[in-house]
Amino acid sequence: MNLTVEIGRLKLKNPVMSASGTFGYAEEFSDFVDLNKLGAIVVKGISIKPMEGNPPPRICETACGMLNSIGLQNVGLKKFLKEKLPYLNKLKTIIIVNILGNSISDYVKLSKTLEDSGIEAVELNVSCPNVKKGGISFGINDKMLAKLISKVRQSAQKITLITKLSPNVSNIPLFAKVAEDSGSDAISLINTIPALAIDIETWKPKLANITGGLSGPAIKPIALRMVWEAAETVKIPVIGIGGIMNAGDAIEFLLAGATAIQVGTGNFVNPGATIDILEGIEDYLKRKSINDIKGIIGGMNGKCTNNNSDN
């Protein structure tokens, strides 16, 4: 069975990746999964300087999901290269580093330094809702996004460039196209959806940051629609993210047109989720007598019939 997929210059052994910010620097999951079996690992977002993150409480649960306002707490580029990368380099899987900056020059410096350190791919985080500067301000302005991606592309020419899109825009195809036209090798979506929860006894917001990003099964149908719209628009690979908990969810994203998928919040609930999903996809392909994963990518066809399997 062929499970390999291509994202830019990368050849992934299968389409299952971890989502940034939910998988630490991979070592946190070594007790639970054989990391070498994953298609790729996307590590926690890295900024040039270490970031402390937001004050607690940082998370709260909501129906079929959770809000987080971690605020991109991370060890910074220098410490990442010195203390985290040696472990990641030992793994036999592709490492994708999610990067975040306050300015275009931050993103340029991060991607160039990582390229020079032998990293094969970066994911541009232009969609985090939990920080005041940078991040999402690029992801919701098409002209800024075009400029950012072009500058990074000019400077780091070998590295595979993935742009992680925000769901916080009214027109996903526009931003998907901007990413493609500016030199991004792939796009990944969606990041969390800005949201709010209030304690009705104290009348206070449940998060110290007031708002946070909603993730988990609650956002899956929205994510799936956006991934489908993006995949219909661009020729570069689309990586589907949003509420993927099991193989069935992952397969839906592949059918919608995603070339690969990322598991996020699902890792918290079941730290073995990535491998369970991978095995579930293999079982599904066997059951359907399909011997190549590419046989289902973008496979959603035509009109709805009245005999959907769920009903």
Partner 1 sequence: MSKNFRAKVINNFALNPRTFLLEIEPIEETIAPKPGQFYMIQPDSSYDPLLKRPFSYIRKSNGKIQFLCAIKGKGTRLMMNFHSNKIISMLGPFGNGYPIFKSNHISLLIAGGTGIASILSLSNEVQNKYLIYGARTRDELLLLDKIEELGDRFIVCTNDCSYGKKGMVDELLKDFINSHKDNINSIIIYACGPLPMLKAISKISAENNIKGFASLEENMACGFGACLGCAVKTKQGYQRVCKEGPVFPFKEIIW
Torsion of CA 125, 222, 22, 214, to 10 degrees: 90
The residue among 80 and 175 lying less far from partner 1, judged by its C-beta, is: 80
The residue among 60 and 296 lying less far from partner 1, judged by its C-beta, is: 60
Pairing state of beta strands 121-125 and 94-99? parallel
User: Is 128 a known active-site residue?
Assistant: yes
- How distant, in Å, are the alpha carbons of 80, 90, 165 from that of 188? 23, 25, 6
∠235-238-239 over CA atoms, to 5°?
165
Using the rule CB under 8 A, is 55 a contact of partner 1? yes
DSSP 104: H
Using the rule CB under 8 A, is 57 a contact of partner 1? yes
How many residues of this chain bind partner 1 (CB under 8 A)?
Answer: 34
The pattern of x and - marking residues 203 through 232 that bind partner 1 according to CB under 8 A reads -------------xx---------------
Of 15, 45, 65, 242, the one binding partner 1 (CB under 8 A) is 65
> Phi first, then psi: what are they for 212, rounded to 5°?
-150, 180
- How distant, in Å, are the alpha carbons of 16, 140, 281 from that of 276? 10, 34, 9
Using the rule CB under 8 A, is 63 a contact of partner 1? yes
Using the rule CB under 8 A, is 199 a contact of partner 1? no
Contact yes or no for 45/25 (Cβ under 8 A): no
Using the rule CB under 8 A, is 23 a contact of partner 1? yes
For the segment 116-145, give every residue that binds partner 1 (CB under 8 A): none
Give me 52's structure tokens.
């402390």
Of 6, 13, 37, 73, the one binding partner 1 (CB under 8 A) is 73
Q: Which positions lie near partner 1, rule CB under 8 A? A: 21-24, 28-29, 31-32, 52-53, 55-61, 63-66, 68, 70, 73, 216-217, 245, 265, 267-272
Tell me the catalytic residues. 128
